[in-house]
């Protein structure tokens, strides 16, 4: 058997350039939480969505080229009151 040369692992192109944004959304019921997650998941450039915070009222959105302002506008029309808490830079740099 020959010697196998190990190639150093490079950072995946999928994780390069991902940004995160946190939005506070008024979610009083399970139905509104499900609707907010559905809206976040269907937005352009979104790779991952999850609920955070003490009362699970903050939505963390991770993706490549996602627009937090556009997302909040859609959340306001379909779910209820929403606001941007923070928009971060690249996660993996």
Global pTM? Answer: 0.75
Distance CA 61, CA 86 (A): 11
End-to-end alpha-carbon separation of the chain, Å?
39
Element at 19 (helix H, strand E): strand 19-25
Residue 22 CA to residue 11 CA, distance in Å, equals 25
For each of the domains in the chain, give its residue range(s) and CATH number, in order of start: 19-90 (3.30.70.100)
Bridge partners, residue 81, by sequence: none
From first to last of its 93 residues, what are the pLDDT tens digits of the chain?
555 555 454 444 455 678 889 999 999 999 999 999 999 999 998 999 999 988 899 999 999 888 899 999 999 999 999 999 999 865 555
Q: How many CB atoms lie within 10 A of CB 49?
A: 21
Unique residue bearing structure tokens 């609920």: 51
């Amino acid at each position: 058997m020959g010697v196998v040369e190990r190639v150093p692992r490079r950072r995946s192109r999928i994780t390069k350039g991902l940004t995160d944004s946190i939005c506070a959304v008024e979610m009083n019921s399970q139905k509104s939480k499900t609707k907010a997650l559905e809206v976040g998941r269907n937005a352009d450039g979104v790779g991952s969505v999850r609920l955070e915070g003490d009362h699970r009222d903050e939505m963390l959105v991770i993706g490549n080229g996602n627009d937090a302002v556009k997302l909040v506008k859609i959340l306001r029309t379909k779910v209820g009151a929403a606001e941007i808490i923070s928009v971060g830079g690249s996660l993996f740099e």
